[in-house]
Amino acid sequence: MPEVLGYLSENVNWKMIGSWDASDKTGVGHYLSQYAKIVHLRIGTIITHGTDCGIDGEITFESGQQAAFCHVLIFTGGARTEVVPPDETVWRVG
């Protein structure tokens, strides 16, 4: 998942409660490299306020294993000022 790293700041702080945490891009890259390829991503809800964001959905790995997620993100700045209407979007990856 090297494409994810391009969106992160050098001093990223990524925590998986009860599992692992990393405080730089190298640590995050090491952790993400242990995952199998993601073939399906479903985004359920995205809620933003200023630089804060909450997002939930499900992912399916190449092995068929599935996982649900809920992430809280804090961005260093924002590039968009318009409101994006909510919808359920599904991507096929790969």
Complete edge-to-edge strand list for the sheet that includes strand 38-49: 66-74, 52-61, 38-49, 89-92
* Helices vs strands, H then E, count in the chain: 2, 6
pLDDT score recorded for residue 66: 92
Q: Residue ranges per domain, the chain? A: 1-35, 37-94
Tokens of 75: 């961005």
pLDDT tens-digit profile, the chain (94 residues)? 567 788 788 888 888 888 888 888 898 888 888 877 889 989 999 999 888 889 999 989 888 999 898 888 888 776 655 545 455 555 555 4
pLDDT score recorded for residue 80: 55
pLDDT score recorded for residue 35: 77
Whether 56 and 70 have beta carbons less than 8 Å apart is answered as yes
Which amino acid is it at 36?
A
Nearest to 90 by CA among 25, 42, 44: 42
- How many Cα atoms sit within 13 Å of 27 on the Cβ side? 13
Whole-model pTM: value is 0.62
